[in-house]
Amino acid sequence: MLQLLLLAAAAAGALGQDLPPSCDKPVYCDSELLHHVQIARIFEDSKTFVDLHMLQDPEAILEEFNQLLNETKNPTKEQLREFVQKHFDSEGELEDWTPHDFNENPTFLQGIRDVKLRQFAKDIHNIWPTLGRKIKPHVFEKPERFSLIPMPNGFIIPGGRFKEIYYWDTYWIIEGLLIGGMKETAKGMIENLIDLLRKLGHIPNGSRWYYQERSQPPLLCAMVLLYIRETKDIQFLKANIDALEAELEYWLDSQIVSFEKDNSTHTLLRYYSPSKGPRPESYSEDYNEGLKYKSDDRKQEFYIDLKSAAESGWDFSSRWFVDDAGENSGNLTTIHTKEIIPVDLNSIFANALQNMANFQRLLNRPRRASHWAYLARQWRSNIEAVFWDEEDGIWYDYDMVNGKHRKYFYPSNVSPLWMGAVDKRLVRKHSARVLEYLKKSHGLDFPGGIPTSLIRSGEQWDFPNAWPPLVSVVVNALEALGTREGRKVAFNVAQTWVRACHKGFGENKQMFEKYDAEVPGKFGGGGEYTVQTGFGWTNGCVLEFLAKYGRQMTAEDGSSSTRDDIESEENEYNVDSKESNI
């Protein structure tokens, strides 16, 4: 099969050449120091070490560590701990920051009818200042000593162990900020991402150097669209249109792959992060898993697949598992991310292409607009040809090597609707089939939200975990069907989620990054680290639903709004389109 040959050639080429390290900062990405400290598990969480800052210049630290190696051959854990204590510090690179445009009583609260939910929305909105951070001056003065990449503006962190900007998290954070009237903070967040883009040539997974060689779902254009719609700030668009184009060119240059399906050749994107070695922030976990492979080439392929899955944001999930039969069973040893063409990545990219066409049109650049509009049409056509499964009536990821759809329930299956990556004629044609698929899947039947999958793999992006961005994807996809039934189901999904988060907040006084779909309000588990609190995209997602459905939504059954209220008022609220018209 042609796709097998293409993939084999690509893999051989990648492993046959000298792969780059995870970043250009050897202390954090490609050194004996990193290896010894992480393997010795000086810290319980591998991320802790690579987030420390250096007390001397990196060259001096590496030279002194080489001396230690020469003297000891293999330093003990205690020697390594003493070395780290001498040369590194955990004193933060960040200081607390309260956005100047924060208002304790934003106007959107007035549109929330239920008293309990109105208070809940206010409580969540009031979390933003607790997540506000600004980079300290000494990071700008000696940037070579930090893994944190300096950025010009204050920003909102996700929360917990995540003390930096993350690319795709920022989309839902910006949504929540704009709902609360925090336009300047949202603008600053986007400017930070653009600053990273100008420095690195792409937006990294997060604003740490050790994320340098991988990105995340390319939602920058979608963020800019949210901001422009709210502010009409065309000067901002004009000043940054070159950077937005550079982001799209990066994906077209680095992540594109051609393969055959149904006797036709298609070109789409995949997640692919070919750098050597384990992920620095999860070094010991990756290294120990890699010991299961005897071949160095196979071990390196494994590391690439892990990093590619991390680039997707779904780290980790059965979605990326491909066993010997081509199914999604197994564990991390069966991970083959780079062989899978993801429906959500390509939907996001199709939306970005159309956004770019519309941005250029807005700036009166018809030739550039035509160029990007042509690519957007091509991407939408390929999405329909590659991902749509006529038998099941849904879009699925595509397995290049086995030449077949990945026929499993994941919320990403409806992402073409979420991102407006389906021509309106096809939306009308598919709407009944998509609703039927979702109902038959039973993925919408859980009391605590929509699970990431229906497979209990132990990974955090699988059952029973429900993740806020995926709930948002499904709700907006259902709205995009443009039918009464679609809107009704979207409302029910959103209300179930808000009630679950409200219950969890009442019990824990915290918002979590993920929840348990089986138990309303219970935080999720699994994966490489404990559940994190905060939490940026959870706050944004709940605020999105409360702003959209606040007139109808209730904290519990039996409140003043009834199902009849919902049906009679369904046209009164404004649904924010994810399509690219401005």
Question: Residues, the chain, total?
Answer: 582
Q: How far apart are CA 451 and CA 459, in angstroms?
A: 12
324 is catalytic: no
91 in catalytic set: no
Buried b or exposed e, range 284-295, using 16+ CB within 10 angstroms: bbbbebbeeeee
The answer to whether the beta carbons of residues 42 and 283 sit under 8 Å apart is: no
Q: How far apart are CA 426 and CA 214, in angstroms?
A: 34
- Interatomic CA distance for residues 214 and 228, integer angstroms: 27
CA distances from 299 to 121, 278, 327, 477 (A): 47, 10, 21, 38
- The token pair that represents 378 in the structure block: 């091509």
Contacts of 574 (CB under 8 A, 6+ apart): 548
Here the tokens at position 96 are 């607390």
363's enclosing H/E stretch is none
Place of tokens 């208070």: 119
Which among 196, 194, 204 is positioned nearest to 236, based on CA atoms? 194
**CA nearest neighbour of 196 among 186, 206, 210:** 206
What is the token pair recorded at 147?
């893994």
Q: Which of 281, 315, 397, 479 is catalytic?
A: 315
Q: Tell which residue, 427, 392, 360, has the closest CA to residue 578.
A: 427
Query: Residue 39: how many CB atoms within 10 A of its CB?
Result: 16
What the block records as the tokens of 91 is 């004193």
211, 148 contact by CB (below 8 A)? no
C-alpha 200/C-alpha 209 separation (Å) is 10
Q: Which of 169, 247, 281, 513 is catalytic?
A: 513
Write out the catalytic residue numbers.
315, 513
